[in-house]
Each structure stands twice: as C-alpha cells, then as structure tokens.
Chains A and B, each alone.
Chain A
Amino acid sequence: MNLVVAVKQVPDTEAAIRIAPDRKDIDRSALPMILNPYDEFAVEEALRLREAHGGSVWVVTVGPPAAVDVLRTAIAMGADDALHIVTEHSLDALTTAALLAQQIKTHGFDLVLTGREAIDDGYGLIAPMLAEMLEVPVVTLVSSLKLEDGSLIAERDVEGGRETLRCALPAVVSAQKGLNEPRYPSLKGKMMAKKKEIPTVSADVSEAKLEVLHLGYPPIRSGTKILGEGIQAVPELVRILRDELKVI
C-alpha cells in the first residue's frame, strides 16, 4: 500500500502563547514545538496498515525550516520517507491543502491520512479539501479503520450517533483520538531519523485569501467566586442557577 501522511508542527499544548508586538502573529521564539497530536494517530495508523498489508509510509509537511523535526519524529516512529514543503509563514487551509495535493499527486497514493485538525489553527478542513483536490472520497474523524477487499471500513462519532462507512480506495481519512495508541520512537528509530536525508521543495505561494488583522487575548473571567464548602454551599448555587442563569 502506498500510504501518505500529512503532518504539521504545532506549539506544545502546555506552552504559554504570547502575542508579538505587531499583534499580527505570536512570539515564536523559544516556543516548544511538537508533532500535532492528531497527526500522531494518523502516523500510527499508517504504520499499522503497512504492517498488515505491506507497502510504504511517506510523510509530508508544509512549514518553516524547523518543521523538519516533525518529519524526523514520524521517521523515528517508523515512516519510510518524507518531504518538506518549506514556507516562511503560516498559511490558510486552502493554500496548505493545495501545496500538499500537488506533491501527493506526484508521489501517488492509495490512502492519505492526516489528523482531525491541527491544534494551533484548528481549521479541521484540510482532509476534505485534500480529498476534493485529489478527486477521491473522504471520511473525517475516523476512530476505527479497517481494510477489506480494496475498500476501507471506517467508524466515526457524529452528532446524534455513530456511523459505519465504506469507501473505495484511493481515499483520504482524518484521524480522531481513539483510533489507536501512538507508539514511541525507538532509540534505533531516532538514530535513523537523525541521519535521514529529507528532501525539500519551496512553496510557491500566491496571494493569501485570509489576512490576520490583529490578535488579542480572550477576555479574562472576573475570577472564581467560591460559594463555600460542602453541601452548605448548595442553596446559593441553586439560587444562582434559578435567578441569575435562569436554567431552572
């Protein structure tokens, strides 16, 4: 199987995010960066599919020079090869998807996997955009996946229930937490990943469709009012639910 995984480098969820002085971007100096957690599920699933069905796992990212680290992480986990599409600044979902689609078309694929969303910009649109550009079906938010006779059978939670879907390969899927438990890179894997030659291509980006006017911090809540300890505090909470929130 020709398995392709689209991944992204994002700030660690624990990282404190500071807005840069120009208020157009965040301060990216000394920001701890990680492989997007949802993309870890996608890499793991690709490795498992390769173990079960043979083939290769090719990982691709769009990002600044430092984003090569997430490709090395995926190779350390067990991916065969990688490609880095180098850009200088963050892009909107459509531009990113177009850059990925162009390279994936050239490389060829049976199945493209990516995370449900990147936790930095949270678009959650790359998988369906990629599918449309590659002219194949898509199943987003997959939390169970198996292959049968050249088709994939996927399960996912949707509002109001759980779907089981079948679609023919080639296809695109996006991974949801619960799909698997991503493995840790082995020491041998890490050594290999360090030495791996990772090809780069520079992105040719035309005018962006989105312009960040400014960034701000969300309004700070006014602080917690402690209503008391134990069941003595319950009547006051009930009063708030009834009189202030009007939910009773």
Chain B
Amino acid sequence: MAGSVCVVTEQFDGSFRRVSYELLTAARRLAEAASAEVIAIVGPKTVAEAGATLGAYGANKVVQFAGAPESEDLSQLCESLVPVLQELQPMCVLVPGTVHGQELAGRLAARVGAAAVSAVLDVSYADGALTVLRPLYGGKVLATVAVRGTPAIVTVRPNTFGAVAGGSGPAEGVTFAWVPPARAPERLHFRKSAAGRPELTEADIIVSGGRGVGSAENFRVLEELADVLGAAVGASRAAVDAGWRPQADQVGQTGKVVSPKLYIACGISGSVQHWAGISSAKCIVGINKDPQAPIFSRADYGIVGDLFEIVPELTRQVKALKGQG
C-alpha cells in the first residue's frame, strides 16, 4: 500500500486559493484508489483553522511549519518539504500549477530526484502505478503517461478539477520545523492587480478580445460585459502585440492556458496558437464579423456580426436578467 498523497496548498491575500481545494478533491480520489491518506501542506504562512478548512475537502492531516515567515510564496517551501517527504514517503505530491507552484515543483523534483510532470488534465492510480493525462504540442495531442518511482511530483493548473467538499471532519495537525530557503531571491516590490476581476487562470468566465476590438479604448465594451458576468478579461496575441492589453492578459500558446466554464471570444479569429490556450474551456462562444473565421469551426456557439452591437446588447440583457438593468 502506498501510504499517502500530499497536496501543497497555496494562499493568496489571507485565504486558500481555490486550486488548493481542487487538488484535495483529486487527491481524495487517488487516495481512495490506493487506500492511502490525504495530507495537506500549508505554508510558509501558518493558518489557524487549516485543519477544519482543509479537512472539509478531505485532508486527513495538515502539515504546518513552526517558525515559518508570514509569506504566501510557495517557492520558499522547497527546503522545508524535504524532511516532510522523507518522513511521510508519499506516493505523489500534487502542486498548484501557478508561477510559485511550478517553481517549487521543479526545485523539489531536482532536490529529491523525483519524476515531475506538469499541467496534468487527469491523474489516476491503478495496480500500484500512477498514470497522468497531459497535453502535448499545445493540446494537439494528449499523452497518457506512467510515472515511475515515488514521490511523483505533479502540477495541476487551476480550474482543471472541480472543488468538491467531502471528508471525514477536521484534519489532524502535524508540525514540522521551518527550514529557511537557502537561495531565495528577495522580493523588492509587489504590485497587486487592480481588484475586482478574477485572475484569468482561475476565472469561471472569460470575455476575451482580439484584433476585431480595434483599440485599447474599445476594450471597455468587453470590460462592461465581464463586470456583469463576474468574468476576467483576456486578449489574443494580436491585441497584446498591438499594445491594447498587457502581456499578463494574453491567452494562447505564448500566453496563459485557461480552463473556464465559459470563454467568450470577441473579434478573435481563432488561430491554432490561440486554440492551444482555450481548448480545455468547457464552452466557447465566438462573436465575429467574418462568417469564415476559424473560430466558427471550433467554438461551441457562434454569433456572426459586429461585436460593438452584440456585446453591449448581451450586457444589457444579462443585466436585465440579474435585475441590475
């Protein structure tokens, strides 16, 4: 029997990121198949109610680090995790596929000589082996891969799995000593994104604009729709390269890979490179003047026409439905 499945949780602004609960949900499935227990790792910053919060998603134990700094930066956790892995010998460690999480996963794998795979779409355990499904070539191919040896270090992008509560009550707390990072860069400054809109990689809905939006100012039309839907605003490479939106907003092969429930592509033709960033969206709606645009061969729904008429009308009707009109 493999003893445990570890989940590295991540915090932002004083609460757990949703990806932490998504990973616990996936870990629960794995642990059931392997008759193992689920161990959540919290840190660097300690959380008083972690046992109850993470227990609700299936953590049996919660590891925290005594003497750790008040930092939410996961990349500082590598040295502290080494003794934890030595003691617990988990079959795998699930890590958020965020910027800090990816950095941690790579360093940890090198440190303990473990196999690491990133951006998995599915993870399963059968006959004593861990198998993952992951995209290759910008999602044109899906690979089913067996991961040999323990612990397997696996990163999962936010929004890949649903977060479903379920557990046997509060998790038991376990304390390890904090080991300061040997070689951490020093953070000089952090400029928080303007509040109000969700993070692209975590958003359930994304309203995205491309060349057809025409200017930076015109993105306001998309922002208004995003705000009534509680959505994030994304952009195609064309819109970013034109200087209408910052690089951080770019969705696609050279931008972010997103997995929202709903992706509304406005004035985006739908190149293969853009598709690489949105192929795991559950529903894609294309709004484009050109009935021949490639987006209309791959989206789930399409409306042909002028986005500057359609998007404001959509905003108006959603507002009316929500009683904000």
Contact = CB atoms under 8 A, between A and B. Distances in A.
Contacts, number: 272
Contact of B117 (A123, A166, A227): A123
A129 B110 contact: yes
A141 B97 CA distance: 13
Contact of B298 (A120, A140, A176, A221): A221
Interface stretch (A1-9, A183-191, A237-245): A237-245
A165 interface: yes
A64 interface: no
Contacts of B111: 132
Given A160-B12, A224-B299, A230 B98 contact: no
A92 B154 CA distance: 13
Interface in B259-285: 261-262, 272-273, 276, 279, 282-285
A128 B102 contact: yes
A37 B255 CA distance: 12
B193 A211 contact: no
Interface string A205-248: 00111111111111001111111111101110110111001011
B141 interface: yes
Given A163-B189, A166-B185, A224-B298, A141 B303 contact: no
A218 B321 CA distance: 36
Contacts of A162: 190-191, 193, 248
Interface string A153-177: 1101111111111110001000011
A124 B205 contact: no
Contact of B297 (A135, A211, A214, A224): A224
Given A140-B103, A221-B300, A132 B110 contact: yes
B229 A248 contact: yes
Contacts of A159: 12, 17, 98-99, 158, 199, 201-202
A86 interface: no
B118 A122 contact: yes
A94 B109 contact: yes
Contact of B146 (A126, A211, A215): A211
A103 interface: no
A206 to B, nearest CB: 11
A125 B105 contact: yes
B227 interface: no
Given A125-B118, A132-B111, A234 B303 contact: yes
A247 B140 CA distance: 28
B302 A224 contact: yes
Interface string A108-142: 00000000000111111111111111011111110
A137 B182 CA distance: 9
B119 A122 contact: yes
Contacts of A234: 303, 310, 313-314, 317
A215 B186 contact: no
B87 interface: no
B305 A229 contact: yes
A164 B247 contact: no
Interface string B19-37: 0000000000000000000
Looking at A122, A143, A245, the one whose CB has the most chain B CB atoms below 10 A away is A122
A17 to B, nearest CB: 4
Contacts of B191: 161-162, 164
A158 B148 CA distance: 31
A128 B261 contact: no
B296 A224 contact: yes
A165 B188 contact: yes
A12 B147 CA distance: 28
Interface in B131-150: 131, 134-149
Contacts of B299: 221, 224
B82 to A, nearest CB: 11
B205 A13 contact: no
Given A94-B114, A178-B247, A212-B145, A231 B309 contact: yes
Given A124-B118, A238-B321, A247-B205, A129 B107 contact: yes
A57 B17 CA distance: 40
Closest 3 pairs (CB-CB, A-B): A128-B106, A209-B115, A167-B185
23 contacts: A13-B138, A13-B272, A37-B254, A119-B138, A122-B119, A124-B102, A128-B106, A129-B107, A132-B106, A132-B111, A137-B183, A138-B106, A161-B193, A165-B186, A177-B254, A212-B144, A215-B136, A218-B279, A226-B302, A229-B304, A230-B304, A238-B317, A238-B318
